[in-house]
Amino acid sequence: MKAVSVELPDKLTIELDQLVTNGWFANQSEIIRLAVLEFVRRHHFALIEQFQHEDIEWALQQHQEKPT
């Protein structure tokens, strides 16, 4: 597993601490892993579509700039 460093606003870290203290999660890392996983799950297809559109736009631009 790879470690990633993230800076969060104090107010958000206080809320994370409360979730851990109340027993909802074992630690803040667990919450953040779940949040990222959920984001990727919900936005997976939209992100793929966006990247495909960007790739197509880039390819079209390259084709138009190519000398004939």
| Per-residue pLDDT reduced to its tens digit, 3-56 | 999 999 999 999 999 999 999 999 999 999 999 999 999 888 888 888 888 888
Residue 10 has a pLDDT of 97
| pLDDT at 64 (0 to 100) | 86
Full-model pTM: 0.64
Short-list 30, 12, 11, CA closest to 20: 30
CA separation, residue 34 to residues 31, 52, 53, 68 (Å): 5, 26, 28, 51
Sign for the CA dihedral angle at 20, 25, 29, 34 comes to: negative
pLDDT at 68: 62
Helix (H, G, I), strand (E, B) or coil at 5: coil
